[in-house]
Amino acid sequence: MDDKSVLVHVKDDETVIVGGVAYTEYSPLPIAALGTKYIVSSCTHGEGYSSMIVIATHSQKTVVDVAFKLEGNVTYGNKVYGDGDTLILILDQYQTATITTRSNITGTRITSVETVAVFSATYKFGNTFGNKYPLSTYEQLHPVRLYGKEFVLAIKDDSGYRLSAQPYQLQVVSEDSDTQIVFNDGTTISFGETGIFRKNYNVHTNISFNTTRPVMATLCSVGSSSFGPAMDGCFLIPPVTLYLKHAYFSGRGTLQLVTAEDNHNIRVQMSQNRGSTLVNVKIAWDNVPGTRYKVGTFTSHSRQLLIIFIRSDAPFTVLGYSKARIYNTGCSLTSGGNMC
C-alpha cells in the first residue's frame, strides 16, 4: 500500500477540504477540534480484512500511549502487543504512526500529551488490484471531549447494490462501562464491561437515542454489494450538539437531512457544477416518532456528482447514500461551520 502524506495549512472558517482515500471521502478536523484522548471505533468486515490506526501530530512533538483492546494481537517495532498492553510512541512534529492488525481494535484507547489526530481504517488483505491493498474505510475520529449524549440517524439506502438484509451496523463506544442507551422506542441498553454496543439495521430505518454519559456513534457497513465486499466503511454520526447551519458538498443518490421538527426555514439547492445555475430542491419530510426531530429526503437519479448547498436557521446534519458508499457532510466545529 502506498504511503502518502499531504500537509495543508488553512486559516479560513469558510474553507472546506475534502480528502479522498480509496473508496472513502472525509473532511479533516480543524486543529482546534483535536484532542488528547481518543477511543477507537473500527468496522469489522470479517475474514480477509485488517484494521488500521493512524496517529498524526501537527506542530508539537508529543508522547502517545496506545492501550490496546484486541481480540488478537498487534506487532509494532518487532514487539508483539496483546489485549491490555500499552504501546508508548514518541512522535515528532508533523509525524505519523501507523498500526495495523488483523484483530478488531474497537475500544483501543489513545492518550497523548499534546493534541493529535487519529484515523481509523480497514483494508483488504491480499494481493489484489495490481498488488495494492485497497482501503475500504478511512475515518478521522472525534476526541472524547467532542462526544455527545443525543443522536439521530436516518438510513435510506435505495442504491440497490446491497445483498444483505441487515447491511448497516450502529456501533456506539463509551468511556464508561455503566453507560446506558435509551432508544426512541423505549428500549434501554446497558453497555457492560466492554463499553461497546453494536446493533444491525436494515436499509430504511430512523433511529434516535439518548445516553446517560457522552459516547461516540459510528455507522458501519456489515453487508456486501453486488460487486464484492461492502466498501462504505465507518462513518461518524455527529451528536445533536455538533449539527451545522450551512453546508456545501458533492453528492448524488439519496440525501437524508435531520433537523428539529419546528425548523421550517431550511433551503436546499443544487447545481451540476460550480458555474451552473442553482436549482431549489424539494424535500419530503417525515417526523421521527417519539422525538422532536424530522428527516428530509431527496433522491437524485443523475449519474453526475451534484454540488449541493444547504442553508438553515436551525442546525442540521446530513448522510447520503449512493451505490455502495455513504457520504457525510459531518458537523460544525468552528464558528464558520466547517465540516468534520
Same domain for 165 and 123: no
9 belongs to a structural domain: no
Q: Structural domain tally of the chain? A: 2
Same domain for 168 and 317: yes
Cell numbers describing residue 102: 488483523
CA distances from 300 to 38, 178, 258, 271 (A): 37, 43, 18, 12
Which of 117, 146, 175 terminates a domain? The answer is: 146
Same domain for 203 and 66: no
Same domain for 224 and 93: no
155 belongs to a structural domain: yes
79 belongs to a structural domain: yes
Q: Report how far residue 245's alpha carbon sits from residue 61's, in angstroms, rounded to the nearest whole number.
A: 35
pLDDT per residue of the chain (340 residues) written in tens, 0 to 9 = 345 566 666 666 555 566 655 555 667 788 888 999 999 998 876 677 788 899 999 999 999 999 999 988 999 999 999 999 999 999 999 999 999 998 889 999 999 999 999 999 887 765 554 445 566 677 889 999 999 999 999 888 776 665 555 578 899 999 998 999 999 988 999 988 889 999 988 878 899 999 999 999 998 875 555 455 445 567 889 999 999 998 888 888 888 999 999 999 999 998 887 667 888 999 999 999 889 999 999 988 777 778 888 999 999 999 888 765 677 777 777 644 445 5
Same domain for 164 and 124: no
Same domain for 159 and 298: yes
327 belongs to a structural domain: yes
CB distance 258 to 314 below 8 Å: no
Cell numbers describing residue 55: 496517529
Same domain for 104 and 36: yes
Same domain for 326 and 216: yes
8 belongs to a structural domain: no
Same domain for 167 and 91: no
Q: What is the pTM of this model?
A: 0.87
Query: Around Cβ 210, how many Cβ atoms within 10 Å?
Result: 16
CB distance 108 to 53 below 8 Å: yes
**CA neighbor of 30 nearest in space, from 173, 152, 112, 146:** 146
Give me the domain span that covers residue 266: 147-340
64 belongs to a structural domain: yes
Same domain for 117 and 176: no
169 belongs to a structural domain: yes
